[in-house]
Structure formats: C-alpha cells, structure tokens
Structure 1
Amino acid sequence: MRDRLLATTATAVLLAVGAAVPAPAALPTPAPTAAGAAQTGAAAATVPCPRAVAPHVSRPPRPSPPPAVPQERVVGGPALATSGLVVPAGAPAPPKVTATSWLVADLDSGQVLGGCGPHEYGTPASVQKLLLAATMLPRLDPKRVVTVTAEDMDIEPGSSAVGLVEGGRYTVETVWLGLLLNSGNEAANVLARLGGGAEGAAGGVRAMNEYAHQLGALQTHAVTPSGLDGRGQFTSAYDLALIARVCFANPTFRRYALTERTQIPAQPAQKTKGFQIQNENQLIYQYPGALGGKTGFTDLARHTYVGAAERGGRRLVVTLLGAEPQPMRGWEQGAALLDWGFTLPASAAVGRLVEPGELTAAPTVSPSPRAEPAAARPAAASSSVAGGMAIAWSVAGLVAAAAVLLMAGLLWRRRATRRGAP
C-alpha cells in the first residue's frame, strides 16, 4: 500500500552500523518491575494502555497498515517497540484517554517521557500539515504574493477550508496562517505547489516524504499535503513528535502557532470581502504556557492532535492518534497528557527522539585496534592522511626515476658527441 523504499534504505543503514537505534547510556535504567521489564526490552507481557470509555460511534473501517518493520519500531530505543504502555518505573499512571496511540517528549532534550504504542501506525488527518510546515517553511518567502489556481481549490467537498478563492492573490504568510489556524486544505495545496517546483503539488508531497525520512520518521508516508485521507498514508505518534520538534524549533512557526486571529484580505477582482479567522487550537486559550500545535480529523483517522507547552523551563510536546471526542476532546486529552508529563522529573525517560539525519548518515569505518583513539585522530582523517602520504611517496618515486633517466640520457649524449655520433 505504500512506497517502502525509504524505510528499506533506512533499515539497511541501521543494519550496516550493527543494530537499531538503542536508548542512550545517559537515560536512566528503570527498576526491574513489570513496567520496567517492558521498558528495558526484557520478556514481559504488554502493559495495556489506560483507556477512557468513549460512546459508540459508527465509522468506516480503518485502513490496513503496512507490515511492521522491526528496525523501525525500535527507533529511539527498544522500550518503544510495544503496542502497549511504556512509562518510567515508579511514574504515576497516565490519564485515561481514547487515543489509540500517544507519546509525550521533551522538545529540548529529546527524551521520550512515555507513550502508548508509540510506533503503531495511525492515520494522520490534518496533523500532517506539520510535516508540510517543517518541509516548506524554510523554502518559501513569507512576503511573496501568490495567485490561487483551480488546482489548489481541488479539495474534498465539505472538508476544512480557510476561504481562499481561485484567482485571489495572497501573501505566503497569509496562506500559512490559513493553514495553521483554520486547517485550510486549499492552503495546503498552495504551499505544496509552491514548494514542489516544476512538479507542483506532487513535488511538494515528494519533498515531504524525503524530509520525513531525513528526520528519522520512517513510519510516515504522505499522500496528500493536507492530511486528507489517501491510500497508503500513515504516520505514528513517535514520528509526529520528531516532526513537531522541528516545527517548534522554528521561530516563525511558533509565532504562527500562537496567533489567535488574523484577517484574510478582500479580493476585489473576485468580488469577495475580507474576513477574520480564529485559531481552532483551544490549547492556546485554555492551557497556561501553551506553545501551540495542530488539530486534525477525518472519518478514517478520527481525531488527531499535536500540542506543546512550557512550564518551569521545560518544553514538552504531546502527540496522539485515533481519538474520539468524548469524554474529552482531542486537545483536552493532549492537555491531560502534558499535565502528566510535567509531573515527571527531568531525568525520567524511556527513549529519545533521534536527531535529524542520524539514521541516514553514512556509516564510518571503525579504526583498527592499534590505531590512534578517535579523539586523537578520526579514522576517516587517518585514512585520508595515509592515502595522501602514499600518493606523495609515489609521486616522489616517479620524480626520482625521471631524474635518473634524464641524467643518463645527458651522459650518453655527451659521450656520443665526443665520438662524432649524429
């Protein structure tokens, strides 16, 4: 159902360096309790996630996910390879939510504080717009004025739109605000087209997938730039945290995400008036220290959510997939998980968020046992120096040989001249 090339390439890289990404040594080792055994990868039964009971909702069957890839499920640490709950030993129980999977992480240190099925596949809905933002914000000039095309307006009837009009002219910043405040699907098409170059929106989606791969979000595959459902489109709570971490590192994104309202300008040529839009993410109004985030919903994905907040000098992010709005809405479930995360000590962790490019970096050759320590002389540099010395000696040898031949030739010529040779 999905293009597995990116995941296969990353798997090969992980195998080439000898193992999947382990939890770093700096992370604390949990006590050998039942939860701790699950965290440390020891044989233990899956710990069920605390679930809130939601009213029965008639919904279409969820799409079948791709086959699980073991190397992808341990990205960030072996404790994260579970379909159940993973929390630090001794941590208080997290709140009951209806989300099928979730994760709480520290935006700055990258430590994963806990999660439920963090590497389980889920359908993203509009939180996929964060991948679009992470990919395209550095590429597009916010002051650039763009014209909306008929292709941009090709969105699913009844889906979320900010109200751009075909032929209308807007700054890129206005389009970004329409995307992040009102989840405009036509805005997503505009931005993907602009960032996709000659390939248009298709090129934008391709760039999104390439960037997800670079970030280490190996379970993410975008089919639409907006998050509208598409065949083979998936992500995970862990991948969303990687993507959100990049977004919140960008000051322009942070400013957009905290914008409460903005004005969409009138389009006289299209005879449309200007109007105001408001940020739909209630976290920024209701949660002290909120940094913003993104809501999402489709019939297949159900409710999805990404939110971040700062408290006591710590910045945490929560991601959740497959939630129902009762008894708590998606942002409220996110807020409850953020509250839980802030109760944990700063040293608590069950894994980590990998760094951009970490999984795609080319493996280096380890030095031989007799080589100098890496700190004194990196293996790659040693090889380069040795290669350079070998070349230098080879060149010196050739020069010496040429000099000998030249001298011999001159001596023969002098003797030949003395004998009257031509």
Structure 2
Amino acid sequence: MATAVCAVALMLTPGAAVAIPAAATPVTDGCPHRLVPPPAVDTSEVVAPGSTTPSALPVPAQTVGGEKLAACGVITDPAAGPVPDRLTSAAWLVADMDTGAVIAAKDPHGRYRPASTIKTLLALTVLDNGLPLDRAVVPTAEDWGQEGDACGMGPGGRYTLRDMLTGLLVVSGNDCAHVLARELGGVPATLAKMNATAAQLHALDTRATTPSGLDAAGMSTSPYDLALIFRAAMGNPTFREIIAKPTYHFPGYPPRRDVPGDPDHPGYDMQTSDQLLLNGYPGMLGGKTGYTDDALKTFVGAARQGNRTVLIVQMYGLSTSDDNYWTQAQSLLEYGFHAPSAIRVGDLVSGRPTSQSTTESRPTDPASGPATVPGSPRAASTSDHGSTMSKRILIGLVAALIVVILLAVATRFLGRRRS
C-alpha cells in the first residue's frame, strides 16, 4: 500500500533521494495523462470486490484558464527567458498569485495524483464550513491508526480543531485529516464537500477519493487545479496564518492504559514539511508537500518578494542524486519573480461561479468529483448572464415606452371625438 509521507526526508536528505537520471523526466507532449494519472505501481487503487472503479472525469469542452493551457508540453513566452533546466516533474506551473496570470507551465491540465497536497482542499473545506476551531475533539483509535504521517495524538490528550487543522498543514498528519473528516460528517460526506468545493473553483481535473491524499481509485488533480485551490485557500486569513507556521506546539497525551509500561507522551514542537519556509527562503509564505509511491513528489506553495507573489506547483517528480526537489522549487520561484509582469500564457480563474453557471456543480456521489461545468472563467459566465439581463431590461423599457405613446395617441383621438 502506498503511504502518504510528508516528504521531508525524501526531498531533503541526500541519502534518501531517489537516484534517477535527468533524462528520465517524463515527456508529456503527447498528452498521456489527459484523462487519468500514470499507472499505479502497487495495489493501493485496486477496488474492493463488487465495487466499480470510478470512470475518468470528463475533459471540459473549453480549457479552463485559456486555450494555450490545453497544450501538454512546456508552455511559455520566450520573453520570459528559458525555463529552469533539470526539472524532474512531469507537470508544473508558475503563476502570479495576485493577478492570476499563468507565467509558464508544463502539462497544466494533465491529471496526476495529489498525495498530501489535497489536504489544502480539505483545509479550505473545513474553513468554508465554519467549524469552530476552538472546539475540543476526542480522538479515536481509528484516528491515530491511520496509515502514513501522523501528528501523534493518543487517548487522553486534549486537542482542538485548530490543533487538527494546524497538524494537517504543518506536518501533513493523516490522523488529523481523519478527525477533521469526522467533524465534517464522516469520510463520504467530507469527500462530497471537498469535491463540491473543487467544482465551485472550476477545478475540473480534481476528484478527492480520500481526505488525506492516500492513493485510492479515481483520485486525480492537476497543476492548474492545485494552483486554483491553493490560491483560494490563501484568501482565507486562518489558512494563510497556519500555512506560514514553521513550527507549532502539538499537545501530548498521558501513558496509555491498554499498553503496559507505556511512557508519558509529552507535547512537542512540530516542524513544517515545507523546507523553503523552514530554512528561510526570502518571502516564503508557505506550502504543502506530498508523496506516495504512485504520486511521487508533489508540492504547492507561494512566496512574495517586492510587489509580486509567485505561486508554484510541482507534480510527479523526484530528487536525483545531484538535484534536490527543493532546488527545483526554488528555481521555479526565481523564474516567476524574474519574468516580466506582462507575461501571461493563461489565467487562474478567480472567484467562485454563480448559481447560474454551476447548475451541475454538486455531485450526488460523494467521490464522484466535480460535474461538468463551463470551463470558462467566472468573468465570462457572469458577463454573459449580465448581458442577457441587460437585453431583457432594454426590451422591457422599449415596450413600456411604446405603450405610453399608444395611450397618449388614443386619448387625444378620443378627446377630439368627444369635442
């Protein structure tokens, strides 16, 4: 079974780096992942007997963010200069987070597994649903028994939803993800809410099938969608505050009564898995890492320097023996900061669509993901609606004026007949 790990060791520790030659970087020009992610390398996505593997999400008729982003190779403007070399990610994206301009990308709508970067969508869903972060929560054995990275909760510990949300984003705790899912109504209800949020954001390549990012059949997102989700989440002050924390004191718990000789488990200062933030990269606002055997390394994050905020996404990548994934992340940020402000190969659509443009946006199947909705930016859908309303108002005014004129003529005619 693939495990979701925070990827600190895999991304930073030379001894743990997976050695692959730079030439092994996947070529995506032929759009091999237009519909589904790369093949799984283990059994994590094998469905239970009697269950059906989810079908691929439909590809929107209009490319979200602009038609240039329909390409699957490297998309760039020569005026921005050459893109960084030695990038091992199959797909990546660089954007101006403030303006929404996509500066450059590779396979931006290619579908890949998010691993723990999907926790940004879970966090946004928690915040959107207004859960009180000071609420006390009682963890269960199912929570602390979750596979993969954990914050380290246990019986008898005193925790709040803020602890859970912070542990989710800082150290990628799958135990915290399970607690938050329960607070949102259970895993199926949480997946339905996460996928509805994705649909509202026009993240149409995204389907969450686990709250934590552990691989499961049907899971997918894209660099473009992760950029949309992270940008929306950064608009929430609480998310922005938590994702910027390099450390956080997580509560401990007393010795377990069911384990003879179990010692005390004191609280500890957890450290973020975002090594750019932890190591003081200038202007780093925060980011979210991810790794599974099937997803490989993933990352979404942003930094601000001067008057520009650059957002980057990396998917399906690895460190090589002489090329660290954090070095690659830094090179993408630098590329974004040095690109002329006029560079724009596409757009991150902003805002959430109106009800008129999302009549199919809420799926009935909790894990079905977003239904097919228009792939154009919100501005286009709302302006079309506004244009239609304006025409109706104008027609109504003209009709009213004609009625007034006819009444005036009739009154004058009748007056003459009576005189």
Normalising by structure 2, what TM-score?
0.71
Q: Which moved more, 1:114-123 or 1:142-151?
A: 142-151
Determine the C-alpha separation between the residues in 2 that align with 1:70 and 1:267: 48
- Relative to structure 1, is the Cα distance of residues 360 and 167 closer, same or farther in structure 2, using a 3 angstrom cutoff? farther
8 Å contact kept, 2:102–2:346: yes
Q: Is 1:226 paired with 2:212?
A: yes
8 Å contact kept, 1:153–1:166: no
User: 2:224 is paired with a residue of what secondary structure?
Assistant: helix
Q: What is residue 52 of structure 1 aligned with on the other side?
A: 22
* Letter aligned with residue 144 of structure 2: M
* Letter aligned with residue 179 of structure 1: L
Q: Which moved more, 1:67-76 or 1:120-129?
A: 67-76
How far did residue 88 of structure 1 move? 1.2
List per-residue Cα deviations over 1:155-202 (Å, max 9, x = no partner): 22xx111101245330111111211111100101111221x23xx122
How far did residue 282 of structure 1 move? 0.6
The equivalent position to 1:340 in structure 2, one of 322, 335, 338, is 335
* Letter aligned with residue 250 of structure 2: I
Which structure is richer in relative contact order (CA contacts within 8 A, separation 6 or more)?
A: 2
How far did residue 347 of structure 1 move? 1.2
Determine the C-alpha separation between the residues in 1 that align with 2:387 and 2:41: 56
How far did residue 256 of structure 1 move? 0.9
The equivalent position to 1:190 in structure 2, one of 179, 189, 196, is 179
Q: What is residue 84 of structure 1 aligned with on the other side?
A: 73
* Letter aligned with residue 309 of structure 1: A
- Relative to structure 1, is the Cα distance of residues 374 and 236 closer, same or farther in structure 2, using a 3 angstrom cutoff? closer
The equivalent position to 2:131 in structure 1, one of 112, 123, 140, is 140
Determine the C-alpha separation between the residues in 2 that align with 1:54 and 1:145: 48
8 Å contact kept, 1:65–1:234: no
8 Å contact kept, 2:25–2:89: no
Q: Give the gaps of 5 or more residues in structure 1.
A: 1-50, 368-372, 394-422
List per-residue Cα deviations over 1:115-135 (Å, max 9, x = no partner): 000000101000010111111
Determine the C-alpha separation between the residues in 1 that align with 2:115 and 2:384: 43
Q: What is residue 90 of structure 2 aligned with on the other side?
A: 100
Determine the C-alpha separation between the residues in 2 that align with 1:149 and 1:72: 45
- Relative to structure 1, is the Cα distance of residues 365 and 382 closer, same or farther in structure 2, using a 3 angstrom cutoff? farther
8 Å contact kept, 1:72–1:219: no
Q: What is residue 181 of structure 1 aligned with on the other side?
A: 170
How far did residue 305 of structure 1 move? 0.5
The equivalent position to 1:205 in structure 2, one of 169, 191, 205, is 191
Determine the C-alpha separation between the residues in 1 that align with 2:235 and 2:226: 14
How far did residue 339 of structure 1 move? 0.5
Q: What is residue 317 of structure 1 aligned with on the other side?
A: 311
Q: What is residue 294 of structure 2 aligned with on the other side?
A: 300
How far did residue 254 of structure 1 move? 1.6
Determine the C-alpha separation between the residues in 1 that align with 2:22 and 2:168: 31
Q: Is 1:274 paired with 2:267?
A: yes
8 Å contact kept, 2:80–2:340: no
In terms of Rg, which structure is larger?
1
Describe how 1:391-402 pairs up with structure 2 within 5 A. none
Q: Is 1:164 paired with 2:153?
A: yes
Q: Is 1:249 paired with 2:244?
A: no
Determine the C-alpha separation between the residues in 1 that align with 2:42 and 2:285: 34
8 Å contact kept, 1:305–1:331: no
Question: Between Structure 1 and Structure 2, how many residues are aligned?
Answer: 328
How far did residue 233 of structure 1 move? 0.2
How far did residue 71 of structure 1 move? 2.5
- Relative to structure 1, is the Cα distance of residues 385 and 366 closer, same or farther in structure 2, using a 3 angstrom cutoff? farther
User: 1:228 is paired with a residue of what secondary structure?
Assistant: coil
* Letter aligned with residue 274 of structure 1: G
Determine the C-alpha separation between the residues in 2 that align with 1:88 and 1:130: 29
8 Å contact kept, 2:25–2:90: no
List per-residue Cα deviations over 1:262-320 (Å, max 9, x = no partner): 21223247553222211121111241110000010000000000110001210110001
Describe how 1:326-365 pairs up with structure 2 within 5 A. 326=320, 327-358=322-353, 361-362=356-357
Q: What is residue 246 of structure 2 aligned with on the other side?
A: 260
Q: What is residue 144 of structure 2 aligned with on the other side?
A: 153
Q: What is residue 390 of structure 2 aligned with on the other side?
A: 378
Determine the C-alpha separation between the residues in 2 that align with 1:299 and 1:328: 19
8 Å contact kept, 2:60–2:204: no
* Letter aligned with residue 182 of structure 1: V
* Letter aligned with residue 180 of structure 1: L
8 Å contact kept, 2:57–2:205: no
Tell me the percent identity.
39
RMSD between aligned alpha carbons?
Answer: 3.3
User: 1:310 is paired with a residue of what secondary structure?
Assistant: strand
Q: What is residue 365 of structure 2 aligned with on the other side?
A: none
8 Å contact kept, 1:95–1:337: yes
User: 1:118 is paired with a residue of what secondary structure?
Assistant: coil
Q: Which moved more, 1:265-274 or 1:287-296?
A: 265-274
- Relative to structure 1, is the Cα distance of residues 299 and 379 closer, same or farther in structure 2, using a 3 angstrom cutoff? same
- Relative to structure 1, is the Cα distance of residues 331 and 130 closer, same or farther in structure 2, using a 3 angstrom cutoff? farther
- Relative to structure 1, is the Cα distance of residues 91 and 170 closer, same or farther in structure 2, using a 3 angstrom cutoff? same
8 Å contact kept, 1:65–1:121: no
8 Å contact kept, 2:290–2:299: yes
Q: What is residue 49 of structure 2 aligned with on the other side?
A: none
* Letter aligned with residue 297 of structure 2: H
Determine the C-alpha separation between the residues in 1 that align with 2:155 and 2:294: 29
